[in-house]
Chain A
Amino acid sequence: MRVTQGTFSFLPDLTDEQISKQVAYCMRNGWAVNIEYTDDPHPRNTYWEMWGNPMFDLKDPAAVMYELGECRKVHKGRAYIRLSAFDATAGWESLRLSFITDRPENEDGFMLERQEVAGRSMRYTTRAYATDKPVGARY
């Protein structure tokens, strides 16, 4: 399966040139780009690990691409990596863009657990197969 979180998951994986253009777009808008990675792709896992702080005040996408390269050296193929852009403007103060740049070699997907309760009602739990394994051994 393919996890379709993020802005561009339905397109073929972005090339570095395409990623760099998206970073440039974020910088033109004054947004801080952040690199994150995780081995827990649950749709409600909000807090991926931060690869350093968000990169405020940068002007050159090459700096972000360098950091992405460093992150890949450690995590590529063994985690999801995403770029997000933070906008500190009053009334927004949240993300403006967030997309996956790298995926683990095998995406294991999710188990949907159902607990049948009263009145035909159901309690649902979504569980990533990857997180059955301990941290460090997931992908």
Chain B
Amino acid sequence: MNVVAPKRTGRYDAGVMKYKEMGYFDLDYEPKDTDVLACFRITPQDGVDADEAAAAVAGESSTATWTVVWTDRLTACDKYRAKCYRVDPVPGNPSQYFAYIAYDIELFEPDSIVNLSASIIGNVFGFKPLKALRLEDMRLPISYVKTYHGPATGIVVERERLDKFGRPLLGATVKPKLGLSGRNYGRVVYEALKGGLDFTKDDENINSQNFMHWRDRFLYCMEAVNRAQAMTGEVKGTYLNVSAGDMEQIYERAEFAKELGSTIIMIDLVIGYSAIQSIAKWARRNDMILHLHRAGHSTYTRQKSHGVSFRVIAKWMRLAGVDHIHAGTVVGKLEGDPATTRGYYDICREQYNPQALEHGLFFDQDWGGMRKLMPVASGGIHAGQMHQLLHHLGEDVVLQFGGGTIGHPMGIQAGATANRVALEAMILARNEGRDYLAEGPEILAAAAKTCTPLAQALNVWKDVTFDYASTDTPDFVPTMTPA
């Protein structure tokens, strides 16, 4: 049978037409203050026009399907169509383009990361005409931001509750991360907290395995926390990981942590956006600090050509209501270009982010007074890097020295003390107006004269650096001014 398609005469005739011509592409469109904006990095298939690919992304992430549907005409369809309003070539990369797309705020359910993400990244990432697609950044209008509670506690109130001001907080992840019994695990917590850390932490995959069931861990950890508090007169905490296979168990674990008097609980990113928003609201109701481990994120954040940038995840998590988020160390063992990491930290900690292409921030973002999210630097850092950590990451951050505490030659308490003394010495010097970045090694050496554990730490780890090229780096150099 030979089917002859009828000749198209109008916009709503049955058949296939270019996305560009369906209302998803308008370079004259001026985004409204209330629009949700997204910047995608698109890599069209060979021979696919960049504008058409960009329009397709706008279409497939809003109302379009592959063919014309007459039922569009039952709606105010132009309002619901996302519009690609700008396409720029990626500097130095002829096969890629930045596509800027505006979405009407009416497309989104209030207070739902699930709905936001289902729209923006729900379908379009498998779209065949694209080789690859990456969501680089989003501008969330303040009218939409205000529909979320934001961090359960926030940086300022966390500091007030802990009575710790003027310096980064110190933590350590208990190692080895698998296999310790509850009793042995609590020993590590006690030693680290008594030695001078503020926090210890469960790792992402410490849940409730045969070697250590969760109740056992919580009981021994809280014994350690309370004992360390009594020995130091300081508020201490340990992030009890409440992540579990279903929401009922997550709540059960969180309630037990509360009963035992813990100041903080922890979840993994892999529990999912709805679970995160639920436990964030529980945390707000129960005066609990909520730590988020970004477990799994590198599967989609690391490669520049495809996936979702971590800066978008950081924005979503500030809305969703967590209090801590791992955001990179710059100098440690895990991926983290300094300029890109600076962008993540600004998203967590500032009230207003001006566009900063050199830090990967494509849009101005107003947080409307939403509470601040404490970034956490974890993975391959040690006391000898204290000046660099303070320089790159600033003061409102949790520095987590896992190996850098537990691996100390004289034991865990000594490791914790080395870190705390290094930190306090560096803050003292900074506040005195010294050039602490340049003089860092001398400042540490001077502090080590009255602190043997610090001298030992500096000696053991003096040559440890992780100097590899980053994969996720900004496309813009600092001098470039956006059009």
Q: Which residues of A contact B (CB under 8 A)?
A: 1, 3-5, 7-12, 14, 18, 21-22, 25, 41-44, 46, 84-85, 90-99, 109-112, 120-124, 126, 128
Q: Tell me whether A18 and B428 are in contact (CB under 8 A).
A: yes
Partner of B431, one of A25, A44, A110: A25
Minimum C-beta distance from B422 to chain A (A): 9
Asked if B160 CB lies within 8 Å of chain A CBs, one says yes
CB pair A7–B424 under 8 Å, yes or no, is yes
Tell me the minimal C-beta distance from A17 to chain B in angstroms: 10
Which residues does chain A contribute within 8 Å of B451, judged by CB atoms? Answer: 10
Cβ contacts B414-454/A at 8 Å (1 or 0 each): 00010011001101100111000000000000010011000
Interface pairs A-B: 4 shortest CB-CB: A97-B166, A3-B233, A112-B230, A25-B431
A1 — which chain B residues lie within 8 A by C-beta?
231-233
In angstroms, Cα B222 to Cα A121, docked, is 10
Asked whether B165 lies within 8 Å of A25 as measured between CB atoms, the reply is no
Residues of A within 8 A of B232 (CB): 1, 3-4
Q: Would you call B234 and A3 a contact (CB within 8 A)?
A: yes
Q: What is the interface size of chain B, counting residues whose CB is below 8 A from a CB of the partner?
A: 40
Q: How far is the CA of A94 from the CA of B428 in the complex (A)?
A: 20
Main secondary structure of the interface of B (DSSP, over half): helix
CA–CA, A75 and B69, complex, Å: 82
Q: How far is the CA of A41 from the CA of B233 in the complex (A)?
A: 7
Closest to A23 in B: B431
Could you tell me the distance between the alpha carbons of A41 and B451 in the complex, rounded to whole angstroms?
25
Q: Is the CB of B196 within 8 A of A10?
A: yes
- Decide yes or no whether B247 CB sits under 8 A from chain A: no
* A99 adjacent to B230 (CB under 8 Å): no
How many angstroms from the CA of A7 to the CA of B426 in the assembled complex?
Answer: 11
Question: How many whole Å from B412's CB to the nearest CB in chain A?
Answer: 16
Is the pair A95, B233 in contact by a Cβ cutoff of 8 Å? no
Instruction: Give per-residue flags for B447-477: 1 if the beta carbon is below 8 A from chain A beta carbons, else 0.
Output: 1001100000000000000000000000000
B residues with CB within 8 A of A: 156, 159-160, 163-167, 196, 219, 222-223, 226-227, 229-235, 259-261, 351, 369, 372, 417, 420-421, 424-425, 427-428, 431-433, 447, 450-451
Interface centre among B222, B234, B369 (most CB of A within 10 A): B234
Q: Answer whether A94 and B351 are a contact pair too, CB < 8 Å, given A22-B431, A25-B432, A124-B261.
A: no
Q: Indicate whether A11 sits within 8 Å of B226 (C-beta atoms), given known contacts A4-B234, A25-B432.
A: no
**Is A84 a contact of B235 with CB atoms below 8 Å?**
no
- Given A10-B421, A98-B166; A25-B433 close (CB under 8 Å): yes
Contacts A3-B233, A4-B232, A121-B260; A84 near B163 (Cβ below 8 A)? no
A10 close to B417 (CB less than 8 A): yes
A5-B229 in contact (CB<8A): no
Q: Within the assembled complex, what's the spacing in Å between the Cα atoms of A94 and B167?
A: 14
| Contact assessment for B233 and A43 in the assembled complex, using a CB-CB cutoff below 8 Å | yes
Are A5 and B428 in touch, CB under 8 angstroms?
Answer: no
**Are A10 and B420 in contact, CB atoms less than 8 angstroms apart?**
yes
Assess whether A121 is in contact with B235, with CB atoms less than 8 Å apart.
no
Partner of A7, one of B166, B196, B229, B261: B166
Query: Are B260's CB and A10's CB within 8 A?
Result: no
Give chain A residues whose Cβ lies under 8 Å from the Cβ of B223: 122
Out of A9, A46, A126, name the residue touching B230 (CB < 8 Å).
A126
Instruction: Decide if A11 touches B421 in the complex (CB within 8 Å).
Output: yes
Contact of A96 among B166, B229, B233 (CB under 8 A): B166
Q: Is the CB of A44 within 8 A of B235?
A: yes
Q: With A3-B234, A25-B433, A43-B235 as given contacts, are A12 and B165 in contact (CB-CB < 8 Å)? A: no
User: B160 is contacted by which of A4, A14, A94, A123 (Cβ under 8 Å)?
Assistant: A94
